[in-house]
Structure 1
Amino acid sequence: MDETEQATTITDFDDLQELLEAPAPLKLGPGDRIPPTCTLGRYILEAALTPAIRRRLRAPGSLAVIIQAPTPAWVGPLREAAADLTRWTQVVARDGSDRTSHRPDKRNSWIVDALTVGGRALGIAAAPDRLLPSTLTATADIWITVRPPSPAVLRQAIKAATGTLPRQLPDGLGVGLDFPELCVAIRSSTSARSCIRRLQDAAVARNLADKSVATAAPISELHGYDAVMPWATGVIRDLQAWRRGEIPFDSIDSRVVLASEPGLGKTSFVRSLARSAQLPLVATSMSAWFTGGPGYLDSVLRQAEIAFAEAAALASTGLGGSLLLLDEVDAVPDRRGLEDRNRAFWTTVIQHLLTILDGSQRSTLDGVVIVGATNHGNRLDPALIRPGRLGRIIEIGRPDVATLARILRFHLGDDLKGEDLFPLAELGVGASGADAMAWVKRARHKARAEERDLVLADLLEEIAPRDARATEDLWRAAVHEACHAVVSHVTNDGVVRSISIVGQGRSGGQTVTMSRDVALSRAAAERRVMTALAGHVGETVICGQPTSGSSSDLAMATKILVDVHAAYGLGDTLLHRPTDNATSLLLMDPLLRQAVEDDLARLRATTTDLLTEHRPLIEELARLLVSERQIGARAFIRFVEEHLQGRRVRTDRDHPEATHG
């Protein structure tokens, strides 16, 4: 039909061919039951009409009305149901299937002609602002938002189809099912019980709500999410208050974007949140919007609407809300970087998404918690992360050592109970929670293949596979790290947490200690210097000569002594000087350089004497390190105590009189 043509029909059939091919109207006999195709549209429309709207529809005069359908599939049934409300001059019903004519700039003259002569115009669409004539959406006197079928509506439809009114419907029955699925499940001349069963089966087949939620861990058992946990616990608390009617939903901080590198568990966290908050989860993404249809603009927008409508349907059926995951949200580009040839397409997509998120009076998102997920938080359009839309971005970082140890323990369950996992976490620091889960899976697989229980060495092999260093190099690395550990222990400098000769990058091993001192005295600072020098000195004492592997240790020892003399007030002067660049300070101050050099020489001699005294312990510890590759805190303490106890026993046997003071 030409845009200037006068409209004389009461319905806008944008595709005449579709009308000609439509099936003949269903004819019912006196005793026939009424199928849901004839009742569902009328029942959900009646449920949406308030007494005030009914009175206004019955009153004479010009009127512009919009009916917002739950999904595009409901547009046709609602058009038929609306015919009984009043006599319409013009009806524009659009489901978005026609890219050419289902647009705001089409058929505006029809609306103008109808309203200016005192007529009544009706628009029906799931996305009125995008699909209906702009003249109608801008001047609507009544805007009716139709919700998906409630349990009461389904009971009516089942009674009409079967002749039996179900006493009670299971919670959430029909949630997420669109008009076609509901009609196929509610069949005439069958029993009400069979209709209910088919509705339940259809919901399972539809797989709307993510069933992985049932197997997700509660957020109380998660580790590595310190940044996002306060938000999540706040949402759970506020949802409970909203369900009790104590606060409105718009007072909940219900929208956020989770950003991290790949593999840090954003989607796993969302599933756990859904479980802990008792929310059904609907997961969607930009790629799903493209693959759910032909990929044209209207198809993409329609798929986006369907995703939000599904979440809204779940939230509006007495389940206490829903959770919508917008994965890959960075696939919606920042408009500031768009090329001219793509600008029109993406601008429309972004604007439509913003319209859905805006939360205006027409919104159906009450009760929907929305979480975006992205690997690139810096690529989001600023308009997306404003308050009221997706809110703010929360960055999820890689787990630290303590957190990684807790993640390993979680995935291990009852395996390796009582084992110290901190040394393994030290070796794997920088890995993600997904990496930790993969380590445990592969270690268990190896143990099962060999028909034995899981042992710590299995997990160690996954975290840090054996390197190809020569035996001499491994021994030197073991001596180096054993010296650090022994000096730290015997001088009471710190608590040894782990010792390892697993190569990481340019490092051939590492010893992790926790300092006992909060504020350093001169003696405590010198103990720390001795621990740092121990690797270099030990290579000299036991291996004959040091190597360049002590470079970072010497830098640490030098920096501590520069701080002692120039910043801490523990030397011969109270003058404070910044020591951020210790090298420059040493080059400019020969007196400071000489003082540091003298201290290094003195403490090196003391460390040499200490290592010479404890050489048997160091060599035994180094041999154990070559065999085990890593030693945890408890194992280290047990080893040292057993060695010292054995040494006392040997000494007593050599000198019996020593026991008789």
Structure 2
Amino acid sequence: MNGAVRRQLKGRSGLAVIVLVPGPSWIRPVRDLFLERFGAQWQTITADSIKTPQQKSDQNREVASNLTHGQPVVGFAVERDGLPAALTAAADLTIRIDPPGRTIIRRAIRMFTGRVAPAGMDENIAVGLEFDDLVAAFRTDSSPDEIIVRIRKASAVVSGSASTERLPQLEDAIEYGAARTWGLALARDFADYREGLIDWQDIDRGAVLHSEPGLGKSLFARVLAKACGVPLVAFSIADLFASSPGYLDSVIKASRAMFQKAAAVAPCILFLDEIDALPNRATMSPRGADWWTPVVTDFLLSLDNAVAGKRAGIVVCAATNNIKGVDAALLRPGRLERAIEITRPNHAGAVNILRYHLNGDLANADLTDIGHLLDGCTGADIMMAVRGARRIARHAKRNLELDDLIQAITPEEEIAPAALNRICTHEAGHAVASIVVSSGDLKRCVIGRSVAESAGRTLIANETEGDLMTRDTVERRAIVLFAGRTAERILIGDVSVGAGGGDDSDLAQATQIIAALHASAGLGDTLTYTASLQEALTAVRSDPELRSKVEQHLRILQARTENLVRQHRDEILAVVDRLRIRRQLSGEEIRRIVSVAALSRSAPETAIVQSQGGSDGL
């Protein structure tokens, strides 16, 4: 403040003043200093003293009355909207105290120690620090250098730059798919913003990452912040209750403090985990709405303030395992704007995650086959597999080997002979059918509990090359799904429950794709669109006519599958024999076994033809 402002504060009655501070911890010490310098006659208001609508109304009335009678009023807050409307509308003077930079810190050090601070101090040395963090760095008998070291250390801890966590490069994290694409674009925008090529308004406000658990949403937020070169301020919605008594006013204050902390370290990424814990107002019960509506409304207002550019530099990245539970108002343009799904990694993504967790071990090893074993696994599954492999090598007192990974992913286990035969038969049925009908690219058969917690798996890459799915493509895929249970029935004599059970079972998948063929793809006997692929199972349960069509179609495909299994039983049995011994076979090994078995089956007929030909020749 210059001399004119000081004289105005000391001499004029009925003055309305607003003092904006860098963070909540600054309010009390700044207020105390203000009263010490300019007299106790001021009525003071702080944003955290206004809790209910009635208190807000009382404060407005009191502010108006005091100003009318000539008493000066001063309000202290982080943002203007935390103060009574009567004060913000009537304010004669607004004083903003910015976060202290290099000049202020040097001056404070000189006043405290009596010595000049060394040159070369960074302008943003105190970025993100609250008042108490700074005070704690100034200790009796400290030198300027010691104070600077403490401030830098505290700032690094608050901003997250002090973390020693090893993080992948966003450019290399191909397993994140669309999230990676968005993150790379955001990192480029941050770089352009720093160079003055674009305004903050040209940068995305945020996004919601959604997936099943274990796919690395929280890790992505840390990788994104690193790629953008900004601090990560991380919260979960549960923190609003853990950091407060849980009363309505305290939860709202905790929510505001969360956004204020992000504003103090901007530019930054504000990561909000478990965003679905903030209830969806469209599905709230009337009783819940009474309590939650003020919380959600205030949260949305704080979010608007955070991303509206009042203080440039906050991008909000949220995460959820339940995107349907997120309030639609959060996803509208200008707030979180978009929902990005993170799916399970494909083969290339699985190998990439594996390389990251190996951290330089097995650098020259070919992980292609290992990657096929991990198809369909989450990033958390892969991390556990590497941890298990390291344990095997450590207990053997040697370096990590490729076989350790295989053993960790598909550990040896005792399986009863009858169960082993049935599992091998089931998986061999899938494998041979995929070769015979040319459905997808067979990668591997695995017998035994793996990191994916299944008794057996046949891994088939079902991507079509150069064309879209047709009715024939869908039917061939359904035949492969039916082949496991059909092999059991024809080669063993009965069928187990292994083909059914959950929505990801063989029967469920076959039902889903055939139902979608009729209900949404226009590849059945009607053109009416009634359900998407994701809704197909629900539609079959509720629509008798669709269920009848699907059942008839599935029975036709079941009959075709039975013919296939009978015709190629020798090939299936040959694969079963090898699986019982080896417990896992690559797609190439299975194709060789099928080829040899097929030749052996046709060899006697070939010999007879050759013999008859020779006799005629004589």
Tell me the secondary structure at the aligned position of residue 257 of structure 1: strand
- Report the CA distance shift for 1:587/1:479 in structure 2 as closer, same or farther (over 3 A): closer
Contact 2:129 2:158 in 1 (8 A): no
2:383 to 427, 437, 441: 437
Match of 2:120 among 168, 176, 183: 168
* TM-aligned CA deviation for residue 196 of structure 1: 0.9
1:499 equivalent in alignment to 2:450: no
1:158·1:164 contact (CA, 8 Å) conserved in 2?
Answer: yes
| Aligned with 1:307 (options 247, 253, 258) | 258
Q: Which amino acid aligns with 1:425?
A: L
Match in the other structure for 1:415: 362
- In the TM superposition, what is the alpha-carbon distance from 1:253 to its structure 2 partner? 0.6
CA spacing shift, 1:165–1:65, aligned 2, 3 Å: same
Query: What is the CA distance between 1:269 and its match in structure 2?
Result: 0.7
Q: CA deviation at 1:313?
A: 2.0
1:147 pairs, out of 89, 98, 102, with: 98
Q: Secondary structure at the match of 2:183?
A: helix
Q: Per the alignment, in what secondary structure is the counterpart of residue 96 of structure 1?
A: helix
Contact conserved, 2:488 with 2:494, CA < 8 A, in 1? yes
Give 2:232's aligned amino acid: L
Instruction: Say if 2:458 is the partner of 1:510.
Output: yes
1:248 lines up with 2:202 in the alignment: no
Instruction: Identify which of 623, 632, 646 aligns with 2:586.
Output: 632
8 A Cα contact 1:57 1:85, kept in partner: no
Residue 408 and residue 181 in structure 1: after superposition, are their counterparts in 2 closer, same or farther (change >3 A)? closer
Judge conservation of contact 2:171–2:180 (CA < 8 Å) in 1. Answer: no
Structure 2 matches for 1:371-410, cutoff 5 A?
A: 371-400=317-346, 403-410=349-356
Q: Kindly state the Cα deviation for residue 367 of structure 1 after the two structures are TM-superposed.
A: 0.8
Q: 1:145, 1:362 within 8 Å by CA — same for their partners in 2?
A: no
Q: Does 1:199 align with 2:151?
A: yes
Q: Does 1:159 align with 2:113?
A: no
Alpha-carbon distance between aligned partners in 2 of 1:281 and 1:57, rounded to the nearest angstrom: 39
After TM superposition, the score normalised by the length of structure 1 is 0.68
Q: Are 1:108 and 1:136, in contact at CA under 8 Å, matched by a contact in 2?
A: yes
Could you say what secondary structure the match of 2:75 adopts?
strand
Indicate how the Cα distance of structure 1 residues 604 and 386 shifts in structure 2: closer, same or farther if over 3 A, else same.
closer
Quote the Cα distance in structure 1 between the aligned partners of 2:327 and 2:433. Answer: 55
Q: Where does residue 220 of structure 1 map in the other structure?
A: 171
Counterpart for residue 373 of structure 2 = 424
- Equivalent position of 2:541 in the other structure: none
Quick one: which of 48, 56, 67 aligns to 2:19?
A: 67
**In the alignment, is the contact (CA less than 8 A) between 1:88 and 1:121 conserved in 2?**
no
Question: Contact conserved, 1:68 with 1:127, CA < 8 A, in 2?
Answer: yes
Contact in 2 for aligned 1:213/1:272 (Cα 8 Å):
no
Structure 1 window deviating more from structure 2 (514-523 vs 235-244): it is 514-523
Deviations 1:161-208 (A, max 9, x none): 22333222146422332212312323466432122123234446x655
**Alignment size in residue pairs:** 565
**Letter of the aligned partner of 2:203 in structure 1?**
I
What letter is aligned with 2:362?
D
One-letter code of the match for 2:167? A
**Correspondent of 1:259 among 192, 210, 228:** 210
- Which residue of 202, 214, 223 maps to 1:272? 223
Task: Tell me how far 1:627 sits from its aligned partner.
Answer: 2.8
* Cα deviation 1:46-90 (Å, max 9, x = unaligned): 4xx9x9989998998965331122223222343355569988974
- Range with greater deviation from structure 2 (101-110 or 226-235): 101-110
Deviates more, 1:107-116 or 1:193-202: 107-116
Q: Cα–Cα, structure 1 residues 211 and 386, in superposed 2: closer, same or farther, change >3 Å?
A: farther
In 2 relative to 1, CA 101–186 (structure 1 residues): closer, same or farther, beyond 3 Å? farther
> 1:513, 1:190 → 2: CA distance?
65
| 8 Å CA contact retained: 2:486, 2:562 | no
Shift of 1:587: 9.9
Contact 2:210 2:319 in 1 (8 A): yes
Q: Give percent identity, aligned residues only.
A: 32
**Alpha-carbon offset, residue 236 of structure 1:** 0.8
Residue 489 of structure 1, CA deviation: 5.7
Task: Say whether residues 1:180 and 2:180 are aligned partners.
Answer: no
1:626: how far off? 1.8
Residue 92 (structure 1) shift: 1.4
**Partner SS, residue 374 of structure 2:** helix
In the alignment, what sits opposite 2:532?
Answer: none
Further displaced range: 452-461 or 193-202? 452-461
Asked if the contact 2:213–2:321 (Cα under 8 Å) also holds between the matched residues in 1, the reply is yes
Which TM-score applies when normalising by structure 2? 0.72
Distance in 1 separating the partners of 2:143 and 2:281: 55
Aligned counterpart, 1:129: 81
CA distance in 1, matches of 2:89, 2:312: 23
CA contact (8 A) 1:72 1:95 kept: no
Note the C-alpha offset of 1:585.
6.8
SS in 2 for 1:358: helix
Where does residue 611 of structure 2 map in the other structure?
none
Map of 1:40-51 to 2, 5 A cutoff?
Answer: 46=1
One-letter code aligned to 1:496? L
CA distance in structure 1 between the partners assigned to 2:247 and 2:593 by the alignment: 69
Query: Which residue matches 1:7?
Result: none
Given that 2:126 and 2:151 are in contact with CA atoms closer than 8 Å, whether structure 1 keeps it comes out as yes
**Contact 1:495–1:516 under 8 Å retained in 2:** no
Larger Cα-atom Rg: 1
CA offset digits 1:473-522 (Å, max 9, x no partner): 53465466557656866897775322233479998553636678969999
Maintained 8 Å contact 1:530/1:603: no
- The equivalent residue for 1:235 is 186
d(CA) in 2 for partners of 1:263, 1:158: 48
Q: CA 1:83–1:395 in structure 2 vs 1: closer, same or farther (change >3 Å)?
A: same
Letter in 2 for 1:415: L
Q: Work out whether residues 162 and 187 of structure 1, in 8 Å CA contact, stay in contact via their aligned partners in 2.
A: no
String of CA shifts for 1:346-381, please: whole Å, max 9, x gaps: 333333323322238997541122222233333333
- Structure 1 residue 79 and structure 2 residue 31: aligned? yes
The secondary structure found in structure 2 opposite 1:421 is helix
**How far apart, in 2, do the equivalents of 1:537 and 1:100 lie?**
68
Q: CA RMSD in A?
A: 5.2
Task: Provide the rounded CA distance (Å) in 1 between the counterparts of 2:60 and 2:426.
Answer: 83
Task: Kindly state the Cα deviation for residue 243 of structure 1 after the two structures are TM-superposed.
Answer: 0.6
Q: CA deviation at 1:538?
A: 8.0
Structure 2 CA distance for partners of 1:151 and 1:502, relative to 1, 3 Å:
same
Return closer, same or farther for 1:263/1:144 CA change in 2, 3 Å cut-off: farther
Kindly state the Cα deviation for residue 441 of structure 1 after the two structures are TM-superposed. 1.0
Structure 2 gap segments, 5+ residues each: 500-505, 528-535, 537-544, 601-618
User: Could you tell me which of 276, 287, 302 is aligned with 1:356?
Assistant: 302
Deviation at 1:252, TM superposition (A): 0.8
- Distance change >3 Å, CA 627–CA 170, structure 1 → 2: farther
Partners of 1:65 and 1:362 lie apart in 2 by 25
Q: Which residue type is aligned with residue 94 of structure 1?
A: T
Q: Return the alpha-carbon distance in structure 2 between the equivalents of residues 361 and 225 of structure 1.
A: 25
Counterparts of residues 583-598 of structure 1 (less than 5 Å): none
**Partner AA of 1:184 in structure 2:** A
